[in-house]
Structure 1
C-alpha cells in the first residue's frame, strides 16, 4: 500500500493546480519578485472560495486534490477517521473470534460424545448411536452465524459511509452521474465501488497512527 507525504504532496498539488489554471510556465526569480510586488499592491480581498460540490467529483485526480486539501490538513478530521478505522478493526476481530469459538464448540461436542461412548462401552452399558449434532446441523449453525456477521458488517459499512459523507469525503455521498459533455463518461456502480475502495486505502495511509 502506498504511503503519502501529506504536507509535501498537498503543496505540490496546489502548485500544479495553480500553474495549470494560469497556463503559465514555472516563474523564474525575477518573475517571482515582480509577482510579490504586484500582490502587495493588490487591495485585500474578502471573497471566500465557494465549497466544493462533492457530487461533481467523479474522477480520482479531483478526489485526491480535494482530500489532500481537506483531510491532509485537518488533524481533527484525521482523528475522526482513525476512530472509524479502529472501530472497524475491533468489530472484525470480534466476529472472527466468535466464528473460531463456534467451530471449537462444535468440535468439543463431538469429542465429548466420543469420550462418553467409550466409557459406556468399557462398562458394558448401551451406547446411544445418535450424534449430538450432525455435520449438516453444524454447517447450518455456522452458516447462520456467517449470515448474521454479513448483515452486521453491511450495517457497519453503511454507518461508516454516512460518517465519511458528513466529513466531505468524495464518492461516499451523492455522485452526479450526468455527463457534462460527450467526452465525460458516467460512473458505473462497479467504478464507484472501486473508487470508494481506493479512497478508503488512501484514508488509511493518511491517518496512520
Structure 2
C-alpha cells in the first residue's frame, strides 16, 4: 500500500527535530560548565604540608655547678677537686680572687712602707738633734740635754702603729674570708660544727672523724690560699 506524500508532514517532522536539537543543545550548555568548572566541593584540594607542632621554648642550659658542698669538705683531696672545678674552669671567679689577693698584698706593702718611714723618722729626729747640739756647742750656746725621744718612746710609738695595723689587717682578713666563703672555697665555707675546739690533731691527717681542729683549719686555709694564688696568677 502506498501512502501519499504530504509536505506538511515533513514540515512538522523538521520542526519537531529542530525543537529536540535546540533542547539538547540548551541542556548541554547548562551542564557543560559544571563538568568543566569544578565547584569548591568537587575541586580536588592539595594536601596541606604536615607541620610539626611548635616546640616549647627551651630554657638556656645552666652552667654546671658542683654537687659537692664546700661547707662539708674537710679533706685536702676533696678540696683540691672542688677548687679545680669551680675556680680552675671559671675565669670570672679567677678574676675576683685575683683582685682580692692583689688588694691584700697592696695593703700589706703600704703598711710595711709606712712602718719603715716611721722608723727612719725616729732615727732622723735623734740625728738632727745631735747636729743641732754640735752647732750650739761650736758657738758656745747652751745645749739642751733633754733628749727629744728615748728608746722607750720610740718603741711605744712603733707598738701603737703595729696595733693599728693589726686591727685593720684583722678586719681585712675577715672580709677576705667572707668573700672566699661566698665563692664556696673549701675551708673558708666550712661549717662551724665540723671544727672542734681541741688542739689535739685528728686521727688521720685531720680526717679521722670528719672534723678538724682550729689549728688544722688555719693550716688548711693557709695552704688553700697558696693554691688560689697559683691558680689565679696573672
Q: How does 1:107-118 map to 2 (within 5 A)?
A: 107-118=123-134
Alignment CA distance shift 1:196-1:113 (3 Å): same
> Where does residue 197 of structure 1 map in the other structure?
222
SS of corresponding position for 1:73? coil
Is 1:128 the counterpart of 2:136? The answer is no
Provide the C-alpha distance between the structure 2 equivalents of 1:50 and 1:75, rounded to a whole number of angstroms: 16
Shift of 1:185: 4.5
RMSD (CA atoms)? 2.1
Q: Please report how far the alpha carbon of residue 208 of structure 1 lies from its aligned counterpart in structure 2 after TM superposition.
A: 0.6
Separation in structure 1 between the aligned mates of residue 208 and residue 112 of structure 2, nearest angstrom: 46
Tell me whether 1:85 sits opposite 2:104 in the alignment: no
Distance (whole Å) between structure 2 residues aligned to residue 70 and residue 189 of structure 1: 25
Q: Tell me: higher relative CO, structure 1 or 2? Use CA pairs within 8 A at least 6 residues apart.
A: 1
- Deviation track 1:106-137 (CA, whole Å, cap 9, x = no partner) reads 01100111111111111111111000111100
CA distance in 2, matches of 1:58, 1:110: 54
Give the 3 Å change call, closer, same or farther, for CA 120–50 of structure 1 in structure 2: closer
Please give the alpha-carbon distance, in whole angstroms, between the structure 2 residues aligned to 1:132 and 1:84: 42
Partner of 1:42: none
| Greater radius of gyration (CA) | 2
Deviations 1:21-63 (A, max 9, x none): xxxxxxxxxxxxxxxxxxxxxxxxx9x8774322211110111
Alignment TM-score, normalising by the size of structure 2: 0.65
The structure 1 residue matched to 2:211, chosen from 172, 183, 186, is 186
Residue of structure 2 equivalent to 1:170: 186
| Residue among 66, 78, 85 paired with 1:69 | 85
Q: Number of matched residues?
A: 161
In 1, Cα distance between the equivalents of 2:148 and 2:128? 10
